[in-house]
Amino acid sequence: MKKIDLIITELSKLYDGEKGSLDFTTPFELLVAVMLSAQCTDARVNIVTKDLFKVANTPEQFAKMNIKKIEKLISSISFYRNKAKHIKECSIQIIENFDGNVPQSMEELTSLAGIGRKSANVIMLEAFNDCQGIAVDTHAHRISNRLGLSNESDPLKVEQDLLKKIPKKHWRLMNHLLVYHGRAVCDARKPKCEECTISSCCKYYKSIKNKSRSL
């Protein structure tokens, strides 16, 4: 079996059916949640947005809101000042450029303040059920490097490597498989390699085995 097929087959057994873990009821709520989730856990974001969206959950409401008030509402989130600025700027852009609706293309989404390709991928997939690529977050990045699917350090280049190696029909699935495996098994500091079902095709695992043999 080809390496990529083995990875998809084994990870599907563990995580097929898993969905994104950010809570939202509208595309705009997801956009805000995705913005807040940069370098922050989804669990923390869900706690904050539960109250935040009771106060405001539309571009019009955030565009009118004082920036200090937005900061206060999201103050338990990492980089909250920058994120508050982006929420306000992005809300104004959505009203002025897209009639108040979250745009539905990668190009338009990435024109918004605070939205890069990773966030746009998540919004296209989760809000509009349209898979445009593979969102490379910290988990997908780490696992791709460890497995040897990409040696790149720039997430955009990692995604390009993944898109070349993974058949398009599996892109949707891979968006979740890499993230869930990163959270459950392939931890950043202490990967649980001995219980990992894809260790046989992992470059990192082979290298630590070779090192321990040579000691």
* Residue 199 touching ligand SF4 (CB under 6 A): yes
Residue with tokens 């988990």: 139
- Residue 137 among the catalytic residues: yes
191 interacts with ligand SF4 by CB under 6 A: yes
End-to-end CA distance of the chain: 32
- Mark out the alpha helices in the chain (DSSP H runs): 3-15, 27-36, 42-55, 59-64, 67-73, 80-98, 106-109, 117-128, 138-147, 155-165, 171-184, 203-214
In whole angstroms, what separates CA 128 from the centre of its chain? 15
Helix axes 203-214, 138-147, angle to 10 degrees: 50
Which among 50, 137, 187, 211 is annotated as catalytic?
137
User: What is the amino acid identity at position 177?
Assistant: L
Amino acid identity, position 118: K
Q: Which of 39, 192, 207, 209 binds ligand SF4 (CB under 6 A)?
A: 192
Of residues 79, 98, 128, 204, which one binds ligand SF4 by CB under 6 A? 204
In angstroms, give the least distance from the CB of 142 to ligand SF4: 8
Does residue number 198 form part of the binding site for ligand SF4 (CB under 6 A)? yes
The answer to whether residue 205 forms part of the interface with ligand SF4 (CB under 6 A) is yes
Q: Which residues, 161 to 190, sit near ligand SF4 by CB under 6 A?
A: 185-186
With contacts defined by CB under 6 A, name the span among 22-30, 84-92, 125-133, 143-151 that binds ligand SF4.
143-151
Shortest Å, Cβ 198 to ligand SF4? 5
Question: How far is the C-alpha of 91 from the C-alpha of 60, rounded, in Å?
Answer: 7
Binding test (CB under 6 A) with ligand SF4, winner from 146, 171, 175, 180: 146
CB of 147 to ligand SF4, least distance (A): 6
User: Which residues belong to the active site?
Assistant: 118, 137
